[in-house]
Structure 1
């Protein structure tokens, strides 16, 4: 009887365990976009050692525990959870007292809507720790290679009159630093401070003296 119970539990566990707890989009991975990228945030966070970089972003499905720390640590959104209803049930079986998130708690969603009502200086202080800014050195050659390298679309080429300029949207920037690493003349700096008023707008990146 004990062997039957063990076999039943093993089969049930295999049936409920997702084949691929995490899926990786190589086009968003800094290491895949630029072979000299130093980004290793996901592997540093993965306690199971389930991630590797070779020709592709490798996920060892047997080792992966589905903790989702890689999805939380990746600044460019390379990883996505691929959990269906049955896999969630499989994980809940191991948790004596599941705790639900509070994303639907009344009042939390209202905070973003209240942001525009704050005085400009207070709003700026509230935003500066949550968004990134891009500093551009005066020796920028205007090659705009950084635009094509950015995995999140935070950079684009705009125009000022007839002159092309580099534009940056803070809300799309994850702070991965790939643009900085790829820059051939090393004039880009990504900083976790937002000095502007609206992180959801593209703005001209002004050159600063190094």
Structure 2
């Protein structure tokens, strides 16, 4: 294959990201040391010195940064709920990326964007087995996602959080893939349509009635997409798995006697996990909204917060 032909293979770009610099911890507090996105980026496309900046020429859209950003400053453009509905239409669904679009039933710009919260959601909202099409990953510029994705899969399996749900498997060869195109006969069409309607209704019932606003306002409080998925999915888990999910994903905060109740941590928290409470000597902590970003700890002048 010629070098010019190689350049035509789509691998994603900065346009696959939803970017909100005002939510970046380094933007909210200049002394924050958060650099998760910069550390995981294999293309060195991220800069944090003068705020969150992504180099358009270097970014290949691997989406790894979206799996580690704790505040929602970097998120996928893809509608993950729509992807799940698409995968439900077939008995043996395959999830692929833009390079393998001809052999998948739904697609992300890169499977590197599958965080553990996504894997848990896929496992619990699908049935049977879901195959992740990794056939082209080895020779892709985004091949750095492979060991990280496999590590997440192993961690989820070892934790037991995917037990009882859809089996998540990977395919690195055509033999392992066993892809079957979606059938469109009349009977299967109406069955698929009916099932999608029922499941969509169930998803709506599980989702908060108040829509999440995407705003660049500094004072805006919202939960990142990954945390939203987690909160929606684990509510349907058995009690034992809910406890496991809490150990793996939840954080707790303690205030010591040095807390002056200045409410500075309430103002700077990007997710609304800390709320003013006039009845107490310190703010109220809302655990399901906390992503463990640690900004409150960094910002507290009294060093009164322990995460």
TM over 0.5: yes
User: 1:173 aligns to what?
Assistant: 290
Shift of 1:114: 4.2
The answer to whether 1:148 aligns with 2:169 is no
Q: Is the 8 A contact 2:275 2:283 kept in 1?
A: yes
Which secondary structure does the structure 1 equivalent of 2:236 belong to? helix
2:256 aligns with: 137
Aligned-residue CA RMSD (Å) = 3.6
1:105 pairs, out of 113, 123, 126, with 126
1:186 aligns with 2:303: yes
Aligned to 2:99: 93
Q: What's the CA shift for 1:130? A: 2.3
Q: Deviation at 1:29? A: 0.7
- CA 167–147 in structure 1, closer or farther in 2 if over 3 Å, else same: same
If you compute each CA radius of gyration, which structure gives the higher value, 1 or 2?
1
Shift of 1:170: 0.9
Task: State how far apart, in whole Å, the 1-side matches of 2:98 and 2:301 are.
Answer: 49
Tell me the residue number matched to 2:63: 68
Rounded Cα–Cα distance in structure 2 between residues aligned with 1:131 and 1:74: 15
Q: Which fold has the larger relative contact order, with Cα–Cα distance below 8 Å and residues 6 or more apart in sequence?
A: 1
Q: Which has the higher helix share?
A: 2
Unaligned runs of 5+ in 1: 85-90, 191-210
Could you tell me which residue of structure 1 aligns to residue 15 of structure 2? Answer: 20
Question: 1:159, CA displacement in angstroms?
Answer: 3.0
TM-score normalised by structure 1 residue count = 0.67
Which structure shows the bigger proportion of residues in strand conformation? Answer: 1
Unaligned runs of 5+ residues in structure 2 are 80-96, 107-118, 128-163, 166-231
Q: Report how many aligned residue pairs link the two structures.
A: 174
Closer, same or farther: CA 181–99 of 1 in aligned 2, 3 Å: farther
Matches within 5 A, 1:49-64: 49-64=44-59
